[in-house]
Amino acid sequence: METIKVQKLTGSKAMSLAIEQAMNKDDKVFVMGEDVGKYGGIFGSTTGLMDKFGPERVMDTPISETGFIGAAVGAAAEGFRPIVELMFVDFHGVVMDQIYNHIAKITYMSGGNVKMPIVIATAVGGGYSDAAQHSQTLYGSFGHLPGLKVVAPTFPHDLKGMMAAAIQDDNPVVFMFHKTLQGLGWMDQIPSSLGPVPEEEYIVPLNKAKVIKEGTDITIIGAQMMTVEAMHAATELEKEGISAEVIDLLSIKPIDKETIFKSVEKTHRLLIVDEDYLSYGYTAEIAALVSSEAFYHLEAPIGRLAIPDVPIPYSPVLEKYVIPDSKNIVAKAKEILNS
Amino acid sequence: MKDISKDHLVWMYSKMKMSRYFEERMETAYMEGKQPVFNIGAGPVPGEMHLSNGQEPAAAGICVHLKKEDTVTAPHRPHHNAIAKGVDLKLMTAEIYGKKTGLGKGKGGHMHLFDPEVKFSCGGIVAAGMPHAVGAALAAKKLKEDWVAVAFIGEGAANAGAFHESLNLAALWKLPFIVVIEDNSWGISVPKNESTCVPFNDVRAAAYGIKGYLVKDNDPFEMYHVSKEAVDRARKGEGPSIIEIETYRFLGHFQGDPELYRNKEEAPSLRAKDPIDRVKNYLFEKGMASEAEMDALDVEITKEVDAAYEFAINSPLPEPEEALEDVFV
């Protein structure tokens, strides 16, 4: 029997390993972005790749997102599979035209004649006092736009498998990685940012959510750090005899309705937790889907926790107040169960 | 003036004439269903319509030096560029009519034409095609091919951020990239001297350490010569160029534009200097072509364009639910 080599890796190493394996296999894969070369990506997503592949395939760019992310369009049309890094998702404002008017629409406007196999890798999330312009997730902003697959893996295993899948996909994929889950030495190192990752190549589908803890009383859905908080909450709830099922969303667009409906059919109660703004976010989208397509499974109103429509504040006491955590989740879950 | 071969002159003439006749038919086709009251969404060719009559030298003068493998991106006024690059005329016309047989199966329309066969694309966002061409030029360099990428833009686009970012990248990476600025004097209703801090954009090349060229008065011959130099340099790995050509916009920004902002004399005075006649007369003056030869060529061009319209008009519309297809491949 062949032994499968599994090592414990951080989120960032898992991601960069996926890119390395794809680059070894396909010389049309290359990386462009700010500080992706010698630095290895500000959040470690391209660690060690420049040494292995050289500056022609791991290209440091000027601070010029419209330029290099727009250039990915022309390179993709010529048969390349560019991975471009938008250092912080918050910087989308300077390049959104290229992303939503071009990358997301060219396949459609060309009647399917032009493929756009582009991965836009981007760091998301707050919790470390980087304030309003460097702490957003913007899951909903990207999920709203047709023509983009949007993924937000949580644990190292899925970061690797979904990056591999994103590179292979012939469509544009916005690959969101959470800064706190990269396992970086200069941030709060949390246990969830380290996990078992097979050395061999594998794919994690881009359109599937995962039940990561089974339960019977309530379903809690999160993505990335909200999945981590939901797991902490589930442990707390367990102590009080409440059995919570936790779903890691993984795919922001499309939303995996089947996994969610199946869980709600079992638990009859639903709490959705988002590190994005409340209005028009995935809490609203999932609530709408469940209300319109799985309403009769519900025995209580759906609960939503998200950032209450304010920019992310700087001072830790303020930031902690607006980003949902396990305590908020426990309280909200009990409220739903008692309703 | 340096000589241009008969083949090249006739090629340029053909593309210019084809574009002109194509657009003259489009002027009529577009107004179908829009009279007596103009309604932009009515008729067999709905939506905005930006015609390029008068601007043909900008496209033909450089595309004569291009091959199939070279990339062209164009803006919202793209027909002359598309025709000069060799886009399939039938499929392009069908797309403009919103037909199932069109380049984009009726999902793109006149501003969003994609013909990967000849590496042509265009789009409706000012300056946004520039980084795409930079990417194609980057691909050519990576593949070690001598292909070039040309981005056509209007003079208004030279003031947009994408212009600067694209030229910095292209110059930094020494890419085979050329931007052709079609200066038709007008950004919709705003004249160039009220939007642009320098009289001519070729001087902006200095900011990127690249070569800048200026073609005055819509001159097809001068456009031919400077384009040849820029394309040759790009193919040899000598980096990007800016070419600005002072061109003519015979018509409004779009069809239906009342043009209250410009002098009524301007368009007729531009038409009097028709660049297509200039090429034809040059061929006659140099004894390179006879009237009979040129007449025969005109008949051939007319036939090809008419056949494209016939194809488009007779093609089926898409089924409504096809709107849900092609979001992803």
Q: Is A71's CB within 8 Å of B328's CB?
A: no
Q: Is B103's CB within 8 Å of A110's CB?
A: yes
Contact A297, A265 (CB under 8 A): yes
Residue of B nearest to A145 (CA): B327
Q: Which of A67, A114, A170 sits opposite B134 (nearest CB)?
A: A67
Considering A92, A134, A157, A178, which one is annotated as catalytic? A134
Render pLDDT for A34-67 as a digit per residue (tens, 0 to 9): 999 999 999 999 999 999 999 999 999 999 999 9
Is A1's pLDDT higher than 70?
no
Instruction: Label residue A196 by pLDDT band (50, 70, 90).
Output: very high
A134 classed as catalytic? yes
In chain A, the percentage of residues whose pLDDT exceeds 90 is 97
Residue among A113, A115, A149 with most chain B CBs within 10 A, to mutate: A113
Planar angle of CA A235, A239, A241, nearest 5 degrees:
110
Is B1's pLDDT higher than 80?
no
Q: Is B123's CB within 8 Å of A76's CB?
A: no
Give me the sign of the Cα torsion angle B255, B258, B263, B269: positive
Task: Give the closest residue to A179 by CA, choosing from A217, A242, A129, A254.
Answer: A129
Q: Which of B112, B132, B139 sits opposite A80 (nearest CB)?
A: B139
Nearest chain A CA: its distance from B175 CA (Å): 12
Nearest chain A CA: its distance from B105 CA (Å): 5
List Cβ neighbours of A253 (8 Å cut-off, separation of 6 or more). Answer: A142, A143, A148, A149, A150
φ, ψ of residue B165 in degrees (nearest 5): -60, -40
Q: Is B135's CB within 8 Å of A97's CB?
A: no
List Cβ neighbours of B285 (8 Å cut-off, separation of 6 or more). Answer: none
Q: Which DSSP string corresponds to B57-100?
A: HHHHHHHTT--TTSEEEE-SS-HHHHHHHT--HHHHHHHHTT-T
Are β-strands A244-248 and A210-213 bridged in parallel, bridged antiparallel, or unpaired? antiparallel
Instruction: Label residue A2 by pLDDT band (50, 70, 90).
Output: low
Q: Which of A71, A98, A171 sits opposite B138 (nearest CB)?
A: A71
What ipTM describes this predicted complex? 0.94
What residues of chain A lie within 8 A of the CB of B140, using their CB? 78
Q: Is A70's CB within 8 Å of B132's CB?
A: yes
| CB interface of B with A, residues 71-90, below 8 Å | 71, 73
Question: What pLDDT was estimated at residue A4?
Answer: 74
Q: Which of B106, B121, B169 sits opposite A68 (nearest CB)?
A: B169
Question: What pLDDT was estimated at residue B2?
Answer: 78
Nearest chain B CA: its distance from A23 CA (Å): 15
Contact A120, A95 (CB under 8 A): no
Render pLDDT for A277-310 as a digit per residue (tens, 0 to 9): 999 999 999 999 999 999 999 999 999 999 999 9
Q: Is B121's CB within 8 Å of A98's CB?
A: no
Is B117's pLDDT higher than 90?
yes
Residue of A nearest to B136 (CA): A74
- Angle, helices B291-314 vs B89-96, to 10°: value is 50
CA distance A289 to A295: 9
| CB interface of B with A, residues 120-139, below 8 Å | 121, 123, 125, 128, 130-139
Residue of B nearest to A104 (CA): B327
Q: Is B112's CB within 8 Å of A75's CB?
A: no
Is B79's pLDDT higher than 90?
yes
3-class SS of residue B246: strand
In chain B, the percentage of residues whose pLDDT exceeds 90 is 99
Is B293's pLDDT higher than 90?
yes
Q: Which of A74, A101, A111 sits opposite B149 (nearest CB)?
A: A74
What average pLDDT does this structure show over B34-57? 96
Q: Which of B116, B131, B325 sits opposite A71 (nearest CB)?
A: B131
Question: What pLDDT was estimated at residue A6?
Answer: 87
Which residues of A lie closer than 8 Å to B, measured between beta carbons? Answer: 30, 56, 61-62, 64, 66-80, 82, 97-98, 101-102, 106-115, 146-147, 149, 170-171
Average pLDDT, chain B: 97
3-class SS of residue B178: strand
Q: Is B128's CB within 8 Å of A101's CB?
A: yes
Q: Left (φ > 0), alpha (ψ -120 to 50) or beta: where does A154 sit? A: alpha
Contact A113, B119 (CB under 8 A): no
Is B68's pLDDT higher than 70?
yes
In chain B, the percentage of residues whose pLDDT exceeds 70 is 100
Are β-strands B114-115 and B120-122 bridged in parallel, bridged antiparallel, or unpaired? antiparallel
Average pLDDT, chain A: 97
How would you class A110 by CB atoms within 10 Å of its CB: exposed for 0-12, middle for 13-18, buried for 19 or more?
Answer: buried
Q: Is A67's CB within 8 Å of B168's CB?
A: yes
Render pLDDT for A219-257 as a digit per residue (tens, 0 to 9): 999 999 999 999 999 999 999 999 999 999 999 999 999
Question: What pLDDT was estimated at residue A5?
Answer: 85
What residues of chain B lie within 8 A of the CB of A102, using their CB? 123, 125, 128, 132
Question: What pLDDT was estimated at residue A188?
Answer: 86
